[in-house]
Structure 1
Amino acid sequence: MGHASFHHIEIATEDLSRSCDFYATVLGFVVGDPPKPLPAETMQWLFDAAGRPVIHLVQEQGPLADGTVRHLALQCTDKVQVTAQLEVLGTPYEIVDTRGAPFDLIFARDPSGIMLELRFHHGEA
């Protein structure tokens, strides 16, 4: 059976600069640009003390719904087993083309409708 650990959470915000300042000032996160081709003008990553990008902030236009958590990303193992379990449960999922990235991605929703980003390092079955 595969295992998962927390990877990152993505939060939509109306004020990217203010949100970056809040997380940096209050919690000590280091603000940085996301890797190309992601747009630094509308997205910033917040790095923890170990250098992991655990919060992704995304600028959104207009009022946001109460739930601004966009998705939960989990670092997983055993992609074959995870996809098999999704199929057994009848849970729709999408395998994302990540050519050039050092990981594979699967997106699925949990029973409450929260989008899950399931990440698998290359070389893991």
Structure 2
Amino acid sequence: MAVLSLDHVNIRTPDVPGTADFFCDLLGLRKGIAPGAPSIETGCWIYDPADRPIIHIGPIDAQYPSDAMMPFTPARGGGSVHHVALECDDRTGIVARLEAAGMDYATSDIPQIGLRQIFVEERNGILLELNFRGEN
């Protein structure tokens, strides 16, 4: 067995539509109703430009198969997960959207590897690292 790639990140939140809007409005991703969910309010998937569902969003009271083994406790932020990193493009456009929304963010440049980064907290306090390779 080999790990091929990161498949998705799951966020359980009291505000599924608001969390979905963050990823769509500020990062330009697409949202859709999660398979088996009756509406966006009860389950949403966020799709990357290749139409892969990379972020799954569910309400805090949703029942997951893992809950019997490891009960979910709602919390703000990422708990033991420090951040989630997303490879992005159009750094200038994302900065403009963050500033228009009045959102705080931090930046880091690592010229040795041609990487520019933006760090921003989404609505539930989860830290996102937005990576831009080869962009000025």
TM-score, normalising length: structure 1:
0.46
TM-score, normalising length: structure 2:
0.43
State the structure with bigger RCO (CA 8 A, min sep 6), 1 or 2: 1
